[in-house]
């Protein structure tokens, strides 16, 4: 598409014109919204850790991690099914009213489970109260996702970007006000809750006036059909949650509260980076789902594009993250959080593995093999919990990180096998080899440049920016001359 006027610019960023333009537009909006959202929340959480200290911060992250374990009951895998089904057949959108009532019912079940579970996981009344407040916060935020899923199915992700950014701005404003004036984990929890509630109201109004009027429909047959498709994904999501959040819960249960704070200090940075890059998959998913219905060749082409894009981002992310880990932790949290450095290096490697795994998981879901994704995640969950119970008592936060690393290496290997056997996708090809080699060479060059003495005196953000430029500028030049992706 040639852009010759402001109207063309508006159309490029708000309309779905071509496959590549739509992927770029959705990626841009999700990247902008998610990136700014994660940046704002990360800045807030850095100050929370610095002001409250590792002990209180550990209690807060322990409570937050515990509530996240129950979100699977509030979603039950219907998010991915909504995107998959509605992106294929627009006439199915009339069922959305029933999906809303299903989501509401599941959320009520989840809050009851959180309340009951809080009495078994901790005897601290303050932590128990924070668990309940953060549980309601997470469920309100999670309810917004069903609206975002509808936007995804229509590939109108700019609306989702507005919603998540608004919540981030609100929680940052309220959060800073609380920690500077009334610092406590309980008051901070209320700031999170108020922000999510205001953001949900905005999203509901946006949907009501931009898409179609909201209403609730209670059709059990539609509930039954969606749940029959979504339950494998629900359990798979539970297992994914176990991979990371169960670590904090187990450490907190064993009384390793400060270690929980150190672990989550590293995890929050890595999770922010993962979310920003992970939106690539979110942008690809509806296109991948649609291409599967069109033809095998089309499906293979879109899937190759997603896998190659992941490789291009993963290799420099892992290389740069490992090298700059000491600078990042010191800059963000200070010397008191130096035990987080090794955890950060392990977790950034895990994120790289997950990002490579995502295209394989997406292929299983859109090709109606979600039951196989369930078995993969079940295997990983069992292995991860066993490793955590063995490693955490002896090695604390480092054992938690290593256990998760082993788990994801296992599920990636199994996913590769299943994709080859049941979907017969081709991925070991000359194009992928070219992408991998190019990324490796440029990443080595990037680390070599930023390790020079002149950059050791720079702020870590400037050093990272230099690294990004050193990697991506040659990549863009090469891509013009020799088609890489």
Band (pLDDT 50/70/90 cuts) for residue 444 is: very high
Q: Please write the tens of the pLDDT for every residue from 39-90.
A: 888 788 888 888 888 788 888 888 888 888 787 777 777 777 777 777 666 6
User: What pTM value is reported for the model?
Assistant: 0.68
- Using the predicted structure, report yes or no on whether residue 441 has a pLDDT greater than 90: yes
- Give dist(CA 268, CA 208) in Å, integer: 34
Confidence of residue 37 (pLDDT cuts 50, 70, 90): confident
User: Which CA distances in Å does 329 have to 51, 267, 322, 325, 341?
Assistant: 16, 11, 11, 6, 6
**Other Cβ atoms closer than 10 A to 441:** 13
Model pLDDT for residues 112-125, shown as the tens digit of each residue = 888 888 887 777 88
The residue-averaged pLDDT of 88-103 equals 76
393-428 pLDDT, tens per residue? 888 889 989 998 999 999 999 988 888 888 878 777
Report how far residue 38's alpha carbon sits from residue 220's, in angstroms, rounded to the nearest whole number. 37
Please check the confidence at residue 9 and state whether its pLDDT lies above 70: no
Q: Which residues of 395-405 are buried (b: 16+ CB within 10 A; e: fewer)?
A: ebbbbbbbbbb
What is the spatial distance between Cα 216 and Cα 27, in angstroms, rounded to a whole number?
31
> What pLDDT, in 10s, does the model give residues 282-336?
677 777 877 887 788 888 888 888 888 899 999 999 999 999 999 989 888 888 8
Residue with tokens 């090298």: 323
d(CA 95, CA 247): 38
Say what the pLDDT of residue 458 is.
75
- Is the Cα torsion angle 297, 303, 309, 315 positive or negative in sign? negative
The predicted-structure confidence for 449-479, as pLDDT tens digits, reads as follows: 988 877 777 788 888 889 989 999 988 888 7
- The enclosing H or E element of 438 equals helix 430-450
The percent of residues above 90 in pLDDT, for the chain, comes to 18
Percent of the chain with pLDDT strictly greater than 70: 86
pLDDT tens profile 335-381? 888 899 999 999 999 999 988 998 888 888 888 887 787 788 778 88
Checking if the pLDDT of 1 tops 60, the result is no
Which tokens in the block code for residue 14? 């708000």
pLDDT value of position 347:
93
Task: List the chain domain ranges.
Answer: 18-427
CA dist 63 and 261 (Å) reads 11
């Amino acid at each position: 598409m040639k852009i010759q006027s402001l109207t063309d610019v508006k159309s490029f960023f708000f309309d779905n014109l071509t496959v590549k333009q739509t992927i770029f537009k959705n990626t841009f909006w999700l990247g902008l919204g998610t990136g700014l959202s994660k940046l704002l929340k990360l800045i807030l959480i850095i100050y929370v850790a610095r002001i409250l200290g590792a002990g209180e911060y550990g209690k807060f992250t322990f409570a937050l991690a515990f509530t996240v374990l129950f979100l699977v009951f509030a979603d039950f895998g219907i998010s991915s099914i909504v995107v998959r089904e509605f992106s294929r057949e627009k006439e199915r959108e009339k069922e959305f009213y029933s999906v809303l009532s299903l989501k509401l019912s599941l959320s009520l079940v989840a809050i009851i489970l959180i309340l009951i579970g809080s009495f078994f996981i901790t005897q601290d009344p303050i932590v128990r109260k924070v668990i309940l407040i953060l549980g309601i916060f997470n469920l309100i935020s999670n309810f917004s996702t069903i609206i975002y899923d509808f936007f995804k199915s229509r590939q109108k992700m700019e609306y989702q970007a507005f919603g998540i950014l608004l919540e981030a701005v609100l929680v940052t404003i309220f959060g800073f006000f609380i920690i500077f004036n009334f610092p406590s984990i309980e008051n901070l929890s209320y700031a999170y809750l108020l922000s999510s509630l205001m953001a949900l109201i905005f999203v509901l109004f946006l949907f009501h006036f931009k898409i179609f009027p909201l209403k609730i429909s209670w059709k059990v047959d539609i509930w039954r059909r969606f749940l029959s498709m979504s339950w494998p994904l629900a359990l798979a999501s539970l297992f994914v949650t176990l991979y990371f959040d169960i670590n904090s819960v187990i450490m907190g249960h064993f009384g390793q509260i400060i270690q929980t704070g150190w672990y989550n200090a590293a995890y929050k940075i890595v999770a922010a980076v993962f979310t920003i890059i992970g939106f690539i998959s979110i942008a690809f998913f509806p296109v991948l789902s649609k291409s599967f219905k069109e033809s095998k060749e089309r499906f293979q082409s879109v899937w190759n594009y997603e896998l190659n894009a992941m490789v291009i981002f993963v290799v420099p992310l892992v290389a740069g993250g490992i090298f700059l880990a000491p600078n990042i932790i010191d800059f963000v949290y200070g010397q008191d959080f130096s035990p987080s450095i090794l955890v950060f290096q392990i977790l950034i490697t895990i994120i790289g593995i997950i990002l490579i795994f995502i295209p394989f998981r997406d292929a299983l879901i859109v090709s109606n093999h979600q039951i196989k994704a369930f078995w993969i995640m079940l295997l990983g969950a069992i292995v991860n919990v066993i490793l955590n119970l063995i490693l955490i008592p002896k090695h604390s936060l480092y054992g938690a990180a290593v256990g998760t690393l082993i788990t994801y290496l296992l599920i990636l290997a199994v996913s590769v096998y299943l994709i080859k056997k049941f979907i017969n996708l081709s991925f070991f090809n000359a194009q992928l080899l070219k992408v991998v080699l190019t990324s490796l060479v440029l990443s080595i060059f990037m680390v070599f440049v930023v390790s020079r003495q002149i950059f050791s005196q720079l702020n870590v953000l400037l050093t990272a920016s230099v690294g990004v430029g050193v990697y991506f500028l040659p990549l863009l030049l090469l891509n013009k001359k020799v088609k890489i992706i």
